[in-house]
A and B are shown apart, each in its own frame.
Chain A
Amino acid sequence: MGFGTLELLTLQQYWWMIISLLGGLFVFIMFVQGGQTLMDKLSDSEIEKTMLINSIGRKWELGFTTLVLFGGALFAAFPLFYATSFGGAYWVWLAILFCFIIQAVSYEFRTKPNNFLGQKTYEMFLKINGNIGTFLLGVAISTFFSGSEFIVDSNNFVDWQNPLRGLESLLNPYNYLLGFALVYLAKISGALYFINNIDHHEIRQRAVLSIKTNMIFFLLSFLSFMTWILIKDGYAVDSEGFVSIERFKYFQNFIDMPIVLVMFLIGVAMVIIAVFVTVIFRKTCCIKTGGIGIVLTVMAVLLNVGLNNTAYYPSTVDLQSSLTIVNSSGSHYTLITMSYVSLMVPFVLAYITYAWYSMDKVKITKEEIQSPDSHNY
């Protein structure tokens, strides 16, 4: 039995799961962004800062690649979302892109001689990417729950109704909750990663302290976000594609999809356990537990908003323009073709894991960074 025998709806659900998985992986890899925001707080000297930057700098391409893949997969699997959100919420996405462009060059250019903008500028770029880029991504994803102002016409062309072109999502305070939750989560995972990747007592100690503080802010914003979506009205879609408002829709989705609920609870528990074990028992390996927890949690939240007859990108000005995995997806043939390609994902994950393991089995030390032969950022 191959993908060819699957019904269109099954393939749409399969691709929403892949998108959710990619979203989860992307948020996990945002430990790089979190780490960027911590580089001053966790270092006490230039060499310590360089150790931190080199630690996350060796992983930045993975985050970038996941973002590109996330975009490409959305483009192919749910092209109407791609057209609606990117074309409509123009300024939010461009702002996110600006934050990512400046990250890409910062690692390589930062300490190079004659670097024109100066080391501090590139470090500022990394902080902008880590704070604002992460926050804006959270806000953009939060519109999956709060909705946006767009109309899809009979040609499936999109007409955005707000002249602020996406910046209006910043006027909704509820969207800030996920924005802040992502920022603090990234900081926590960044600190967990440093503890695992850098063999330096002082840095590890400072990282533990930062986890304690950031965990409080994370829990506050994340729990507020979860409370908001669990009690808010959601956007249900019936078998004819008719969209309507339904009370406690996202709460109901968790009840209707117990696997997703369990995934969510396990994910959150793993993040909490990772933090607890790191802080109390001073273990250095908890980025793995925390990482899996993040992937599961984010995946569960995205599955919640996309599956169980839910409009994942609601229109607040024309309910029937809302996007669902059914009305926004690629064709049956394309989804089948891409599903075969998706079978490569385990191999890709395997070689990433192997390369990661090979590179990280020897931890970063001060001696390595000071070595004359090392290629440093």
Chain B
Amino acid sequence: MEEHLVDWSRAQFALTAMYHWIFVPLTLGLGFIVAIMESIYVKTNDEFWKKTTKFWMGLFAINFAIGVATGIIMEFEFGTNWANYSWFVGDIFGAPLAVEGILAFFMESTFFAVMFFGWDKVSKGFHLLSTWLVAVGSNLSALWILVANGWMQYPVGMTFNPDTVRNEMNNFWDVLFSPVAVSKFLHTIASGYVLASLFVIGISSWYLLKKRDILFAKRSIIIGSTFGLITSLFLILSGDESAHQVALKQPMKLAAMEGLYEGTTDAGIVAMGILNPKKTISNDEEPFLLEVTAPYALSLLGYHDIHAFVPGIKDLVYGNVEQGIISTQEKMQKGKLAVQALENYKEAKKAKNEDQLLQSKAVLDENMKYFGYGHIKKVEDVVPPVAISFYSFHIMVALGSWFTLLFTMVLFFATKRDILKYPLLLKAALWSIPLGYIASEAGWVVAEVGRQPWAIQDLMPVGIAATKIATTNVMISFFIFATLFTVLLIAEVKIMTKQIGLGSESKEH
């Protein structure tokens, strides 16, 4: 592979994914909030709720369009930028994408048209059903995409076929119900619900601060904060399970998330901390310039046992015999055996040498678990960027905690007091909208940067996964994408703010 090609391919995928993830979480959550509002309208027959539903639906549509646009790029980028990966895993990864198209995306897009244009063309019941189906469809889409992503983090339900040189699925249910996929799905959609709730209460707060559309804003705030409080509690629960799965399946990611170099029992979690930029795996510098630790919490979070041993980066790289952790060097040797066995297998097949064929297959099977390590050049390469993982994780957790508190306060003051008299709280709600996006993006950074250098955990490093292409091509397309997405984002933000400025009484929605 050409120098820098992998970095540019990574950068391009990260760019697309992060832009895509600006729009998707709002779609995931706002769809349900709108459906709840319309349900109230159908139940009460009160035109106020129809107007309220239409206002939020209008914002949903603006966001939806650009989410779809960036989504299609992601699907095809697997082929354009990660062609080798596409073949290596297409047999497994492609299936959830196809199912997503058949079962979810069609549902979403078909009923999207009914939801927006069917108000006076179809019955109230069918319209309401369409609104719910759009919400369900967008969440089902997320399910299949996250099943595919979960498989990359924790590959299960497949065997490696040396004849085709790829992984082939042998158990669809293992792929679908992989604990990593399930926890990833639940945590991700919950984050979307929380973000959408923040969006609703934040914008409603703005109206209240401006003393306009007051009834609309107050009622929206109650729905938004109720939905937000319930889903933020679910977010915490699913986050706990997510971290548990990371500890079990991707211990290096957990170590990076916590800046933990030396493994320990009774491990505490860093509540707040500043990493020492001079710290590397090969020196004895202190990992933190400043840290506040909650005792036992990391052992508890990771292994549901306050005394559990949590391996650090050094344990995972250099091995820890006492804890039964083998070193990366050893894994690399096994990986190289697997890579060589595959070559031998191909030669034996060409020469029609049955003995060598069986022998090579046996070596390959024995070492296949470490196949990807055969392409790793030095042991330190298996350490993901620690600072990015650490700060992203802590920002996500801190903000997630703040959101739960915010929803509780907003719901209390909106139902028990006159919330108009608490401008500070309203301002906090308004400014929490960008925080919601930061937390949401940080979550993906933890998940994706934390698993580097793997395209597929332990099986395929990103360096092998990339398309063989001149770097200039990827650089040019990176800048084209960056420009296009940025222009579209500016357009969306300007339209959104204008629509919000027009208020719920406007006919523009």
Interface-central residue, A105, A163, A342, A362, by most chain B CB under 10 Å:
A105
With A61-B112, A86-B83 already in contact, the answer to whether A77 and B468 are too (CB < 8 A) is: no
B231 at the interface (CB under 8 A from A): no
Task: Write out the residue numbers on chain B whose beta carbons fall within 8 Å of the beta carbon of A165.
Answer: 469, 473
**0/1 interface trace, chain A 188-227, chain B, CB 8 Å (1 if under):** 0000000000000000000000000000000000000000
Partner of A105, one of B54, B82, B491: B491
**Residue in B closest to A154 when the chains form the complex, CB atoms:** B346
Report the Cα distance A163→B70, complex, angstroms: 27
Partner of B495, one of A61, A114, A154, A359: A114
Report the Cα distance A375→B62, complex, angstroms: 12
Report the Cα distance A98→B107, complex, angstroms: 24
Partner of B83, one of A68, A104, A157, A330: A157
Q: Within the complex, what minimum Cβ distance (angstroms) separates B405 from chain A?
A: 34
Q: Within the complex, what minimum Cβ distance (angstroms) separates B58 from chain A?
A: 8
Interface-central residue, B91, B469, B490, by most chain A CB under 10 Å:
B91
Task: Write out the residue numbers on chain B whose beta carbons fall within 8 Å of the beta carbon of A69.
Answer: 98, 101-102, 105-106
The answer on a CB contact under 8 Å between B87 and A76 is no
Q: Within the complex, what minimum Cβ distance (angstroms) separates A187 from chain B?
A: 23
Please choose the segment from B159-167, B186-194, B315-323 that sits at the chain A interface, where 4 or more of its residues have CB less than 8 A away: B159-167
Task: Write out the residue numbers on chain A whose beta carbons fall within 8 Å of the beta carbon of B93.
Answer: 75
B103 at the interface (CB under 8 A from A): yes
Report the Cα distance A154→B470, complex, angstroms: 21
Report the Cα distance A104→B105, complex, angstroms: 15
Report the Cα distance A97→B94, complex, angstroms: 19
Please choose the segment from A244-252, A301-309, A350-358 that sits at the chain B interface, where 4 or more of its residues have CB less than 8 A away: A350-358
The answer on a CB contact under 8 Å between B86 and A79 is yes
The answer on a CB contact under 8 Å between B105 and A65 is yes
Report the Cα distance A191→B419, complex, angstroms: 55
**0/1 interface trace, chain B 102-121, chain A, CB 8 Å (1 if under):** 11011111111110111111
Task: Write out the residue numbers on chain A whose beta carbons fall within 8 Å of the beta carbon of B101.
Answer: 65, 68-69, 71-73
Partner of A75, one of B90, B103, B467: B90
Interface residues of chain A, those whose CB is within 8 Å of chain B, are 54, 58-59, 61-62, 64-65, 67-69, 71-77, 79-80, 82-88, 90-91, 93-94, 97-98, 100-105, 107-109, 112-117, 154-160, 163, 165, 330-331, 333-334, 337-338, 341-342, 344-345, 348, 351-352, 355, 358-359, 361-362, 372-375
Counting from the closest, the 9 A-B pairs by CB-CB distance are A79-B90, A87-B83, A86-B79, A76-B94, A69-B101, A61-B109, A75-B94, A104-B69, A114-B498
**Residue in B closest to A351 when the chains form the complex, CB atoms:** B110
Q: Within the complex, what minimum Cβ distance (angstroms) separates B101 from chain A?
A: 3
Task: Write out the residue numbers on chain A whose beta carbons fall within 8 Å of the beta carbon of B346.
Answer: 154
Q: Within the complex, what minimum Cβ distance (angstroms) separates B89 from chain A?
A: 8
B487 at the interface (CB under 8 A from A): yes
Q: Within the complex, what minimum Cβ distance (angstroms) separates B103 from chain A?
A: 6
Report the Cα distance A231→B422, complex, angstroms: 80
The answer on a CB contact under 8 Å between A86 and B102 is no
Q: Residues of B within 8 Å of A, CB-based: how many?
A: 87
B178 at the interface (CB under 8 A from A): no
The answer on a CB contact under 8 Å between A68 and B75 is yes
With A98-B480, A157-B83, A344-B102 already in contact, the answer to whether A116 and B169 are too (CB < 8 A) is: no
The answer on a CB contact under 8 Å between A358 and B126 is yes
The answer on a CB contact under 8 Å between A362 and B121 is yes
The number of A-B residue pairs with CB atoms under 8 Å apart is 272
Interface-central residue, A69, A77, A159, A344, by most chain B CB under 10 Å:
A69
Task: Write out the residue numbers on chain B whose beta carbons fall within 8 Å of the beta carbon of A62.
Answer: 106, 109-110
**Residue in A closest to B474 when the chains form the complex, CB atoms:** A90
- Name the interface residues of B198-253: CB closer than 8 Å to any CB of A: none
The answer on a CB contact under 8 Å between A61 and B99 is no
Q: Within the complex, what minimum Cβ distance (angstroms) separates B178 from chain A?
A: 15
B380 at the interface (CB under 8 A from A): no
Question: Is chain A's interface secondary structure helix, strand, loop, or mixed overall?
Answer: helix
Q: Within the complex, what minimum Cβ distance (angstroms) separates B322 from chain A?
A: 39
The answer on a CB contact under 8 Å between B103 and A341 is yes
The answer on a CB contact under 8 Å between B468 and A97 is no
B507 at the interface (CB under 8 A from A): yes
The answer on a CB contact under 8 Å between B102 and A342 is yes
B289 at the interface (CB under 8 A from A): no
Some 30 contacts from A to B, beta carbons below 8 A apart, are A58-B113, A62-B106, A68-B75, A69-B101, A74-B94, A76-B98, A83-B86, A86-B83, A87-B469, A90-B473, A97-B72, A101-B72, A103-B69, A104-B72, A105-B65, A116-B490, A116-B494, A154-B346, A165-B469, A331-B161, A333-B168, A334-B92, A337-B95, A342-B102, A345-B102, A348-B102, A355-B113, A358-B121, A362-B121, A373-B507
With A333-B170, A372-B507 already in contact, the answer to whether A108 and B468 are too (CB < 8 A) is: no
**Residue in B closest to A340 when the chains form the complex, CB atoms:** B172
Task: Write out the residue numbers on chain A whose beta carbons fall within 8 Å of the beta carbon of B117.
Answer: 54, 58, 359, 374-375
Partner of A375, one of B80, B116, B498: B116
B502 at the interface (CB under 8 A from A): yes
Report the Cα distance A94→B479, complex, angstroms: 13
The answer on a CB contact under 8 Å between A61 and B113 is yes
Task: Write out the residue numbers on chain B whose beta carbons fall within 8 Å of the beta carbon of A361.
Answer: 121
Partner of A87, one of B72, B79, B170, B494: B79
The answer on a CB contact under 8 Å between B467 and A87 is yes
Report the Cα distance A342→B113, complex, angstroms: 24
The answer on a CB contact under 8 Å between A337 and B113 is no
The answer on a CB contact under 8 Å between B86 and A72 is no
Task: Write out the residue numbers on chain A whose beta carbons fall within 8 Å of the beta carbon of B71.
Answer: 68
The answer on a CB contact under 8 Å between B469 and A90 is yes
The answer on a CB contact under 8 Å between B80 and A87 is yes
